Each structure stands twice: as structure tokens, then as C-alpha cells.
Structure 1
Amino acid sequence: MTTVAAYAAPAAKAPLERTTIERRAVREHDVLIDIKFAGICHSDIHQVREGWGEAIFPMVPGHEIAGIVSEVGPGVTKFAVGDRVGVGCMVDSCRECDNCKAGQEQYCASGNIGTYNGMGKDGEPTYGGYSEKIVVDEDFVLGIPEGIALDEAAPLLCAGITTYSPLKHWNAGPGKKVAVVGMGGLGHMAVKLAHALGAEVTVLSQSLRKKDDGLKLGADHYYATSDPATFEQLAGTFDLIVSTVSAPLDFGAYLGLLRTDGALVNVGAPEEPVSLNLFSLLGGRKTLAGSMIGGIRETQEMLDFCAEHGIGAEIELISASEVNEAYERVLASDVRYRFVIDTATI
């Protein structure tokens, strides 16, 4: 066991505070990572505040982790001391179900083991990236290419793969019209990735406040959803809409923006149930879908793609002591576009 400093929520809805946690000793196939940067995801706030249901406390959030390998177990073959690596939203899975065997560990039939707010196979709770170090099985560690700065790479481990996976699955690319709903932590990555994949990209945001940013990051068009004329003007336009917002949408209105056989894919997860009139789907054979992160293989593909295209997250680097303020600013949409903790400040 190794004792490391971390920031944790001692109870639901409680402010995060500095503490210490225990990391397991490095086992045969484990990698010990000195965490350099940890992104703040809206998911962290949902879970710290039990917005998605009962959680495990104390909780050390953080599943956008970038760092350097400092030790490897004797059986490790994929990584060496000094390697630049990342850890995303999961640290293990059953590895035996059809989904795991297909490289889709995020959809493990038994449920993947979350990087935090989860229970490991050893029966111990998992603790995330708001900490100095983490120990992870090599099969759930990603290599971060040299072409991406570590601080800008951290958010790719959730925001990047969460948007890359549906864009790839629904064939975003040349000749396709893609809309991104929301211009936040996930949304700005969706814009960058859809543009790099060759799609014609439109941002649908509540206002035009971030229009200049959206166009700079790769959007071809930018519309305000607070203007009813937007839904009239863009009716029947898109092949794919990726919703990154964690608030309920008027699904009828957004489905009306799809072409025949178009898909509206949700990667944001509202805390409350949503309603839907099925006639919104029947006319035009449309699809309402969801998507959750990506498997390890696809996450590595995404990182390599980002390095090839010079893509990193737009970040605001903060000290660990600013984390509670950062949470409030995320809720107020006052970040452009991802807070990243410099873990040297923990």
C-alpha cells in the first residue's frame, strides 16, 4: 500500500477537501502512474452530489487522467517507466462477456468497474484522478502520443472518447451534416472531432455567446436554439445530431431537424426522466439513441487520431484548492471549455 494525497468529497453534496487515500501495491500486470493532470467532468459533479443515484463515500472523483508511468509490475508488456499515459472512465471489466471480447468494455454485461465510485474485484472502492498517483491494470491504461500536451490530453479520456465514439459509429465524415447540441466540455470536443473527420458541422447552442469560439474550433454554422426560427430553418437538415447537454431536451423539436434515417444520439445524461412522443420517430424512420464513452481499443484510436490532427482540449488549468469553485462555474457554464487540475498542487 502507498499513501497519497487526494481531494475527496466526504459525503454526498459536501465540498471536496484535501485528504489521503491508500493505493494498492503494484501487482504483476499493474502500472503505477504519477498523475500530472486531471480533468473535471460534469459527471464528477453528478456523482459527488448523487444526482445519478446512491454513491460511495468518501469519493475521489476524476476519470480524465494524464500522467507518467513510475513503476510497472513484472508481467507488464505494454508500458515502461517514463511513458506518457492516460486513464479514462473505467479501470476493469469482466473481460469474458461478448462485449468485452469485442473491445467494448464500456458495455460489459456485468458492468465495467469505474475509475471512481466503483467497487474493484478486490472488494475495495475505487478512487479517481484528483490524487497524486493511481495504480491501474495495464489493459486499461492508454498511451498518450507525443503530439498532445498532457494537460490538453487529460479531457480526451472522457470528453474526447465520449464524442468520438458516436461520431465514428454513425459514420460522421465527408458528405455528412452533423449538429452538436451544447458548446461545453463535451460539445467543443465534438466540434473539433467532427470537423477533423470531414463532416459539415453545425453548433446548436442556447445563445450565440460562444459563436466565435465555435467557428474557430471547426464549426461551419452556429445557431441559437432559443430562437424558434432555428427549428423552422433547419428542419430536415442533419444526418446526425449529438446532444452533449445534461438537461432534458424537447426531443420532438430536435428530431424534426433530422433527415430521413437520421439519428439523435445522447451523450449527456440528465438526472431526471425525459418524455417522448413516438410520432417524432415514426415520420422519417428516425433513431433516438445513446452512447457511453468507448472501449480501450477505440479510446487509443481516438488519442492517435487527435495527435495526427493536432487536437487537444481547450482548457483552464487550476490548482486543486479551486476545485469547489470550479464545480460551481461548470454548473454556471462559466468555463471555456474544460477545467484541468494541476495535481502538483494537491
Structure 2
Amino acid sequence: MSIPTQAYAAHSHTTPLVPWSFERRDVRPDDVLIDITYCGVCHSDLHTARNDWGWTTYPIVPGHEIVGRVSAVGAQVSGFKPGDLVGVGCMVDSCQHCPPCEQGLEQYCEHGHIGTYGGTDPKDGQRTQGGYSDKIVVNHQFVLRVPGNLDEKAVPPLLCAGITTWSPLRHWKVRPGSRVAVVGLGGLGHMAIKLARALGAEVTLFSRSPGKSDDAQRLGASHVVISTDRAQMKAVANRFDLIIDTVPYEHDLNPYLPTLKFDGTLVLVGLVGKLQPPVSSVPLLLGRKSVAGSAIGGIAETQEMLDFCGQHGIVSDVEMIDMQGINDAYERMLKSDVKYRFVIDMASLKSPVSP
């Protein structure tokens, strides 16, 4: 048997997302069936729908920031039951036996983790389809518990933007007294500020726009430095233990490197591609500084992040939309016209399409 599913899908890189019906696999013994209530909208969704990275196979249902309720579980599943509030992030499977997987870092699976959409299921060879849909079937090892005290509709971005910034904060051991800077105030940047502040760090936002100061401070930043102002940049030389760079396009890293302390690290979490202009090795050599990268997070640390958010009452700043508004949301996202993440109310999927 298979499970009839309603969704919105892209059918080519030049056409808008439209309603689409397809079949999910039936629940395997180690699966969880989830009725999706909310799904976040990530830049990766747009890039995939428009084939910006060159790997998209159509039709494709985007969405990897998924929150919903368990409606059924397989015979071998003991950790979840119908009615549980759960989440699914960017991965739905991995080999589970290579060194990264054995360390709970499935995002670095040496055989390639299976993406929530656009991946290939290793058991049946079918393409994975994401959360712009009314339900999803997922291996129980890739299902996350959502703390019940959090605002459910503001949780989905934690499963991508949240964990993408939490993972480097934990890996580089940010704690009370750490000095953290964030480059860029968008979906990733606003979560980096919230999480770093909750960990006890002193947080600074690097921005090109003075107009973001009030918002940055509301989110938890103690300082805002205008990155195009040489005097301001010089004033924070040798200051930061960690810089989380969330900017998703080519930009110059060189102005930020002198602001790192000895042994400091600038970690890229937004840019996918080549660095332009080239990075000078001089500040790296003279201060044993590093430029690094980090990708999403493993299942264990994602659960750790959700539990931390539950303890501290942290969720994303979101704007709710109906499923029928996704194409307009994509256009607004390209203009950075959202604070700071769109979330789809999946109940709207049952509504008629606007003429």
C-alpha cells in the first residue's frame, strides 16, 4: 500500500509551485507517519525549486523545516506514539555506520546523508519529497521531539536555521564570557544571535546597515558594528572568539579576520560555493586564526538544541503564510522582505486555490 499525499511542487525551474498529488510509501516497521501542521520556508527551498544548484529532478516538493503530530508508527518504533509533537529537519536517513554517523553527525555521512527532499531513499530508490505537504513518512531515528511549551508555529525554522547556527556554537564551545560576532541578520543570523546570547556569550552583529541596530539588540546583540566603517572595524580588532558568517552569497571575508582573537575562528554557514575575493593568509598565520565551514547538525545535537530552546523559551521570528502564497513568499525572500522566516500553515492546503 501507499499513502495519498497532497502537496505543492515545482515542475520546472521556470514555473511556479502548484498543487500536486502523489503517493508516500507505506509505514515501514521503523517509520513514523506525521501529519504536518507547519513547514518553514528556507532559501534552499527556493534554490532547489529553481535548480540554482543544478541537481533538481522534477517534480519536487520542497520543505525541510517540518513540525507536526505523529499519526502512526511502525511495529518496531517505541520512542514515539500517535499525538506526539515532533519535527523533521534537513535529513531523513544516512548510512548510520560510517565514522561521522557513529558520532551522531549524520550530516557529514561519508556516503551522503539523505535529504528530506531531492534525495534517494536507500531502501526503495524513490525520490524523497519534502514538507510542503499534508503528511510525511520518516525513519524514526530522524524524528525529533518538540518541547510542548514552545509556540508550535514558530518552531520549524529551528530545524534548519536554528541547528545550522547551534552546531558551530557548540563545536567551538561557546559559553559564558565568549565573544561571538554574527555576519548578516536574516533567518540564520537572527537565530545565531538568540542562541549565542542564551549560551551566555557577548554578541555583536556585523552589518552594512545602521538600520538593523534596534532589531539586533532586541534579539540579544550587545553591539552592532558597521562593517564598511574602518574606524568601527579597527575598534574591534582581536576581539572575537568566533564569527558566524551567515551571508549566502560571495563576499569579502578579509575585513573580518583582524577582528578575531588569537586562535579565533570565522565559520561559514551560509555560503555554498567559492570564496571571492581570495582570503589573505597573513592574519591566519600571524594569529593562528581559522576560516572554517559547518553544515546543519546531527540528530543528537538537533535534539539538544530543541531541548535548550524549550528551557529558554527560544523560537524563531516568523511570518505566517498560506500554502497558496508560497510563490509570492519566494519573491519577497529574494528581496530579504521577511523578518525573519516564513512559515506555512499547512491547514491552508485544504483551502481552494485562489483564482
Amino acid at match of 1:340: V
Q: Give the unaligned 5+ runs of structure 1.
A: none
Q: Tell me the equivalent position of 1:29.
A: 30
Q: Tell me the equivalent position of 1:320.
A: 323
Displacement, 1:47?
A: 1.8
Q: Give the unaligned 5+ runs of structure 2.
A: 350-355
State whether residues 31 and 137 of structure 1, in contact with CA within 8 Å, keep that contact through their aligned partners in structure 2.
Answer: yes
Partners of 1:44 and 1:281 lie apart in 2 by: 35
Partners of 1:53 and 1:129 lie apart in 2 by: 21
1:96-135 aligned within 5 A: 96-121=97-122, 122-135=124-137
**Scaled by the length of structure 2, what TM-score is found?**
0.95
Q: Tell me the equivalent position of 2:352.
A: none
**1:143 and 2:171 aligned:** no
Partners of 2:292 and 2:14 lie apart in 1 by: 30
State whether residues 64 and 129 of structure 1, in contact with CA within 8 Å, keep that contact through their aligned partners in structure 2.
Answer: yes
Partners of 2:14 and 2:91 lie apart in 1 by: 23
More deviation, 181-190/220-229? 220-229
Q: Tell me the equivalent position of 2:252.
A: 250
Q: Tell me the equivalent position of 2:159.
A: 157
Q: Tell me the equivalent position of 2:53.
A: 52
Partners of 1:231 and 1:59 lie apart in 2 by: 44
More deviation, 127-136/10-19? 10-19
Amino acid at match of 1:202: T
Partners of 1:307 and 1:37 lie apart in 2 by: 18
More deviation, 225-234/79-88? 225-234
Amino acid at match of 1:342: D
**1:331 and 2:334 aligned:** yes
Partners of 2:24 and 2:231 lie apart in 1 by: 54
Q: Tell me the equivalent position of 1:194.
A: 196
Amino acid at match of 1:297: A
Partners of 1:12 and 1:277 lie apart in 2 by: 37
State whether residues 164 and 269 of structure 2, in contact with CA within 8 Å, keep that contact through their aligned partners in structure 1.
Answer: yes
Q: Secondary structure at the match of 2:81?
A: coil
Displacement, 1:280?
A: 3.5
Among candidates 260, 281, 284, match of residue 278 of structure 1 = 281
Displacement, 1:14?
A: 2.7
Q: Deviations over 1:102-130 (max 9, x none)?
A: 11111100000000011111211000011
State whether residues 251 and 275 of structure 2, in contact with CA within 8 Å, keep that contact through their aligned partners in structure 1.
Answer: no
Amino acid at match of 2:287: G
Partners of 1:164 and 1:171 lie apart in 2 by: 10
Q: Tell me the equivalent position of 1:64.
A: 65
Displacement, 1:17?
A: 1.2
State whether residues 38 and 63 of structure 1, in contact with CA within 8 Å, keep that contact through their aligned partners in structure 2.
Answer: yes
Q: Tell me the equivalent position of 1:306.
A: 309
Q: Secondary structure at the match of 2:287?
A: coil
More deviation, 150-159/265-274? 265-274
Displacement, 1:257?
A: 1.2
Partners of 1:94 and 1:107 lie apart in 2 by: 10
More deviation, 134-143/17-26? 17-26
Among candidates 177, 181, 196, match of residue 175 of structure 1 = 177
State whether residues 65 and 89 of structure 2, in contact with CA within 8 Å, keep that contact through their aligned partners in structure 1.
Answer: yes
State whether residues 30 and 76 of structure 1, in contact with CA within 8 Å, keep that contact through their aligned partners in structure 2.
Answer: yes
State whether residues 207 and 223 of structure 1, in contact with CA within 8 Å, keep that contact through their aligned partners in structure 2.
Answer: no
Displacement, 1:255?
A: 1.0
More deviation, 284-293/249-258? 249-258
State whether residues 226 and 233 of structure 2, in contact with CA within 8 Å, keep that contact through their aligned partners in structure 1.
Answer: no
Displacement, 1:49?
A: 2.1
Q: Measured at CA, do residues 270 and 75 of structure 1 come closer, stay the same or move farther in structure 2, by a change above 3 Å?
A: closer
Q: Secondary structure at the match of 1:124?
A: coil
Displacement, 1:215?
A: 0.5
Q: Tell me the equivalent position of 2:214.
A: 212
Q: Tell me the equivalent position of 2:20.
A: 19
State whether residues 195 and 219 of structure 1, in contact with CA within 8 Å, keep that contact through their aligned partners in structure 2.
Answer: yes
Displacement, 1:236?
A: 1.6
Displacement, 1:272?
A: 5.1
State whether residues 56 and 118 of structure 1, in contact with CA within 8 Å, keep that contact through their aligned partners in structure 2.
Answer: no
Aligned residues: 346
State whether residues 207 and 226 of structure 1, in contact with CA within 8 Å, keep that contact through their aligned partners in structure 2.
Answer: no
Partners of 1:43 and 1:272 lie apart in 2 by: 17
State whether residues 38 and 156 of structure 2, in contact with CA within 8 Å, keep that contact through their aligned partners in structure 1.
Answer: yes
More deviation, 43-52/86-95? 43-52
